[in-house]
Amino acid sequence: MKILLVLLLVTFMIIPAFAETQTLPTEQGTLDVKLTYDTIEQDILNKIGIEFINPQTQKIQIHIDYIVTVSKNNETVFGPTQLIHTSEGAVKIPIEFNLGEGTYSMNIEVQGILFNPIPPETVSFEISVGEAFAQPDSENGVAEDTSNGGGCLIATAAFGSELAPQVQQLRELRDNTILSTESGTAFMAGFNQFYYSFSPIVSDLERESPIFKEAVKLTLTPMISTLSIMTLAEDGNESQVLGLGISVIILNLGMYITIPAIAGFVISKRIKSRN
């Protein structure tokens, strides 16, 4: 049991644990709009996740037409875009926050649902940029610990960017699968504190040592492949998430413990037979 617990922690330690999340209704309450993003960095493209949620069903509403505008002190830094259509009801938009630290306003104007136009409804978000304006995670109440220079998470440091496909895969697994269940949300809330007790040190070592960085990358790659199995679970399905999570644990036990142990035993036996 202790081995399973340790492996579970190791398996999930590479999942980005921090995200700023805001959910607000449109002006008339027709939709809830959820904004998700990691710590905003200046003068680079930051991916902002947008989900349109049906307030009656609490499910993502498909086929939405909308316009996005981002500004600071009445100066526009992004948009207004042309009318955008999302068939899935969830998108990620790259935005550059290039007017320095401070609070930016992001306005999303919904103009259509299910291919039917509606009277425009706007929802406005405030996005903080810069350490002095950083806010704690609104869902888990945990802010990223950057006091030791370890602002980069383990997987992000290993693969070189928050936009790396491997990091995006982990982030989507966290947001769309793990946090879609009560047990997963409770696990992540407690795990965040454990994660940030060591992740800044590990990520600093990765940046300082290319050899260590490559070793971490080689170690994480097969684990990330097994984690993709969990995307087969339906959103919010506790039993499926738990069952697939156990499958991931078994696969990782095989890859990281059983196979090396068998290989070591065989090699040791052959060496002894030669002697």
Shared domain check, 100 and 83:
yes
Give the number of other Cβ atoms within 10 Å of residue 106's Cβ. 25
DSSP H helices in the chain? 2-12, 154-159, 165-176, 182-195, 199-208, 210-227, 238-253, 259-274
Verify that 45 and 180 share a domain, yes or no: no
189 shares its domain with 116: no
Quick one: which of 151, 149, 141, 78 has its CA closest to 108?
78
Rounded to whole angstroms, how far apart are CA atoms 181 and 74? 39
- DSSP SS3 for 50: strand
Identify whether residues 29 and 115 lie together within a single domain: yes
Rounded distance, CA 206 to CA 218, Å? 13
Among 86-100, 136-150, 174-188, 243-257, which range has the highest average pLDDT?
86-100
Out of 118, 136, 154, a domain closes at: 136
Q: Is the pLDDT of residue 135 over 60?
A: no
2 with 106, same domain: the answer is no
CATH of the domain at 86: 2.60.40.1930
**187-246 pLDDT, tens digit each:** 776 666 676 667 777 877 887 888 988 888 888 888 888 887 877 777 667 788 778 778
128/184 same-domain check:
no
Residues 149, 243, single domain; the answer is yes
Domain of residue 73, residue span: 20-136
In the listed set 87, 112, 136, which residue is the last one of a domain according to the structure? 136
Claim to verify: residue 65 and residue 129 sit in the same structural domain: yes
In this structure, are residues 30 and 72 in contact, taking their beta carbons and an 8 Å threshold?
no
Report pLDDT for 10. Answer: 52
Report the SS3 class of residue 178.
helix
Torsion of CA 156, 160, 163, 166, to 10 degrees: -60
Identify the pLDDT of residue 227. Answer: 80
Label residue 149 by pLDDT band (50, 70, 90). Answer: very low
Number of domains comprising the chain: 2
- Answer yes or no: do 13 and 24 share one domain: no
189 and 199 within one domain = yes
Does residue 101 sit in the same domain as residue 163? no
Residues 129 and 183 in one domain: no
Q: pLDDT at residue 7 above 60?
A: no
